[in-house]
Amino acid sequence: MDDISTEPGYSWIMIIPIVHFLFCLYHLVFTRRIRSSVAVGHKRIRLDSRGILKRLNATKTPYSKSELLNKMYPNGFMPKKEIDVNKPFKLMHLPTLVFQQVADCWDLQEKYTLSQVSQKSKIVLSLANKKRLSKIDFHIPSTVYITYRHSEDPFRLELDCYSKIPKWFYYPEKAFELISNIEVLFDSHLESFHFDPKKIAWQELYKTLKWINSNWNLPFNPDISIQSYTYDGMFFKILMESLEKNVDHFTISGMEYGSQSIKFSHNFEIDWLNVNDTTSLDMDAFTSLKFSRAYLYNVDIANEEINEILMSWKMGRFGDKMESITVEKMTLIDLRAMLIGLEADLRDPRITKRSKRLSNGTTAWIHGGIYFNGPNGKTATINLYSYQSAKEDDRIPEECIQKYETIQRNWNRIVGNNGEERWQEVFVDLQLIVIFQ
């Protein structure tokens, strides 16, 4: 004790910092213990809250909000902040897997609409979408149909819904920009175009065809369909003469004869030509087409018009790539009128046979039938009085042979070569097939 100085102020200057340090250390340790116990309590309460709610529901006793909170948090450690259900939910902040589960609950229109909000939403949705093979059918001006390969019904998507395309107006550049976004968003490809002369003007048609000619770079040919052009034959003429890309399926609904005949020439090739729902076929337009195979369904076509088509082929108007024409549900009343000028003859089904490529890619065989010659040494076969089989060496039924022998004995009466009494035979709901080889 004698060594410690008792001079005023000397001892307190040394002691005060030490006391202050001890006080701070005690306060720090004590506070951490309290926070740790509170955190443990909250965790235990969160784990037990579901069990408490189940027990409360099991009793079926009504409780007020304060009573429920007291039972769920008996130690008084209630959450500082309640969830505000009215507050906007930050959808784009969800993890990718969670966002994908949410996006699976939306239809394609909802996904497309959200993708138009921002660049980020478009990227996030394109990553979250499940990759499924699909195709896009563009019904000009503003409707898109997306069809999945393994789905029956296509989904209708409106481009002018929450977009910058005003309804009843068509801007080809903007429309194809939006379709390009849809291709990325749904991993789809634009495969077909549907034209309606009542909905777009000639100038818009020119712009659309220019885009197809310049930008179509897919490894397959597009499909094209057109509604009835009865009151605007020039629309069809512009379409045929301006398009430069070959077409896989070309469908014409209502190929009606209008107030004036339409003749044109086109430089693209048509693989499948489909004509349907026509009461008065425009023969000038039909014989101007260049196609490989034609399929006519629900077309009211006369015997003389079939003869005009066959005579046009005989004179070489359809070109060298024509393979077949099929007319469904035809009523054939006058066979002589259909065959006049063709110099046709009847073939024995036991001796003569030809192959025919079907729409599903398989091959069928036609035994016998009516034959006549065409240009460049080619021959046409009409399937009347013939037998069709799936295999080349199938056995010919006996009734087919008997029918051939009966018609052969009366062939001159059918074609009218020697002035004998006319043989009259009516075919109803006939599938008329003509093969050109």
Q: Is residue 186 one of the residues assigned to a domain?
A: no
Contacts for 169 with CB less than 8 Å, ≥ 6 apart? 141
Q: Is 100 left (phi over 0), alpha (psi -120 to 50) or beta?
A: alpha
Which of 50, 81, 112 is where one domain is finished? 81
Q: Is residue 122 one of the residues assigned to a domain?
A: no
User: What is the count of structural domains for the chain?
Assistant: 2
pLDDT, one tens digit per residue, over 240-298 is 999 999 999 999 998 887 756 677 888 899 999 999 998 888 888 898 889 999 999 99
Residue 163 CA from chain centroid, whole number: 21
Domain with 342 in it: 330-437
Q: Is residue 39 one of the residues assigned to a domain?
A: yes
Distance CA 388, CA 349 (A): 10
Which residue has tokens 């073939």? 347
> Cβ atoms within 10 A of the Cβ of 231, count?
11
DSSP 54-99: HHHHHHT----HHHHHHHH-TTS---S----TTSPP-GGGS-HHHH
Distance CA 338, CA 310 (A): 9
Q: Is residue 299 one of the residues assigned to a domain?
A: no
Q: List beta partners, residue 436.
A: 380
Kindly tell me the number of DSSP H helices and DSSP E strands found in the chain: 13, 14
DSSP 3-state assignment of 320?
coil
Helical ranges in 291-380 per DSSP H: 303-314, 335-339
Residue 424 scores a pLDDT above 90: no
Average pLDDT of the chain is 78
Asked if 135 and 102 touch (Cβ cutoff 8 Å), the reply is no
Distance CA 287, CA 295 (A): 14
Per mean pLDDT, which range of 111-125, 270-284, 313-327 is the poorest? 111-125
pLDDT above 90 as % of the chain = 21
Distance CA 357, CA 258 (A): 34
Q: Is residue 57 one of the residues assigned to a domain?
A: yes
pLDDT value at position 40?
40
Q: Is residue 403 one of the residues assigned to a domain?
A: yes
pLDDT, one tens digit per residue, over 9-57 is 445 455 666 655 655 655 554 444 444 443 444 444 343 444 544 554 5
Helical ranges in 303-397 per DSSP H: 303-314, 335-339
pLDDT value at position 310?
93
144, two tokens: 């898109």
pTM confidence score: 0.71
Cα 377-380-386 angle, rounded to 5 deg: 140
pLDDT value at position 297?
93
Amino acid letter for position 8: P
Which of 81, 116, 148 is where one domain is finished? 81
Type and span of the H or E element at 177: helix 172-186
Q: Is residue 433 one of the residues assigned to a domain?
A: yes
Which of 42, 65, 81 is where one domain is finished? 81
Distance CA 181, CA 179 (A): 5
79, two tokens: 């959450």
Q: Is residue 111 one of the residues assigned to a domain?
A: no
Distance CA 51, CA 38 (A): 20
